[in-house]
Amino acid sequence: MKLLLDSALTSEGGGGLAVGDETQADWKASLPAEIRDEPSLAQIKDVASLAKSYVHAQRLIGGEKILAPKDSWGDKEWSAFWNRIGRPEKPEGYEIKRPDNLDSTIQLDDGKINELKTLFHGMGLTNAQAGKLFGYFVHELNEDVKTRKASADKAMADAVRELRTEWGMDFDNNLQLAKGAVRALTDESFVQFLDSSGLGNHPQMAKLFLKLAKMTAEDRNRLGESSMTLSSSARAAAEIDSLVQNKEFMSDLMDARSTGHKLALQRWEKLHQMAYPGKVTGGV
């Protein structure tokens, strides 16, 4: 009975070494000595785990591989690498276009966008990378426009404040005279230059064209040109301002007995009709 009991205890695991435990403990014993203590095998508990690890490794080896770039690569190798990591086959493959939030003053048409696509393709960018770079580019453009607009608005406000202080009640009239001189003495390209450079908001530029407006009116008076040659209300207003400083003209205008009174009055009223259309004519 003792023999049977001892055998039963051994076979049932009651204190003896089970077959499974012996296999788990000794599976590495059959391995060559040079790899038996390999660190990579330390976490493998049995032959089944070793088999699973081998199958997984084979699947990885059989998968698609991308070689790491090398300093010795030429254009051909780099192009193949970029295509493998997701670069579109052609520049047209990039999914970027003019964004809706781009400031209307920014010139970014399809031609410019196509140039950027070609640049991105030459840099080897993926579609996602190109999209992020383009987004950053657009953001910086918008911020630059906002900054320039804020600067221009401040310059305009400062100029108006300075001129109002200097010109006082004559501000509106002087400003119209200056604008009239710009239109009469320059062309569209110069007007665009004043606007783009910010000089159009400079107080000294306004003073310059006001002076030119008055000088032009004085020249017309000296030459005896008829006010009928004036082509704008601003130029007519400039001539009125000049005539006020002309003592001889004002004497004729104010003295009904003067031989030049009738012509002076006609000229005065005609200028006021042109300078202030729809309003009462200038009287004396």
Domain ranges of the chain: 77-147, 168-275
**C-alpha–C-alpha distance, residues 227 and 266, integer Å:** 10
Q: So what's the pLDDT on residue 1?
A: 43
**Is the per-residue pLDDT at 10 higher than 70?**
no
Q: Which residue has the higher pLDDT, 226 or 28?
A: 28
Q: So what's the pLDDT on residue 70?
A: 83
Q: So what's the pLDDT on residue 228?
A: 40
pTM above 0.85, yes or no: no
> Would you call 85 helix, strand, or coil by DSSP?
coil
**Mean pLDDT estimate for the chain:** 79
Which of 9-13, 67-71, 76-80, 203-207 shows the lowest mean pLDDT across its residues?
9-13
**Is the per-residue pLDDT at 191 higher than 90?**
no
**Is the per-residue pLDDT at 60 higher than 70?**
no
Mean pLDDT calculated for residue range 38-57: 80
Report yes or no: 99 and 138 within 8 Å, Cβ to Cβ. yes
Which of 154-163, 180-189, 193-202, 221-230 shows the lowest mean pLDDT across its residues?
221-230
Contacts of 130 (CB under 8 A, 6+ apart): 94, 96, 117, 120
Place of tokens 């049932």: 12
Q: Nearest to residue 238, comparing CAs of 163, 162, 179?
A: 179
**C-alpha–C-alpha distance, residues 155 and 202, integer Å:** 7
- pLDDT band per the 50, 70, 90 thresholds, residue 114: very high
Q: So what's the pLDDT on residue 180?
A: 84
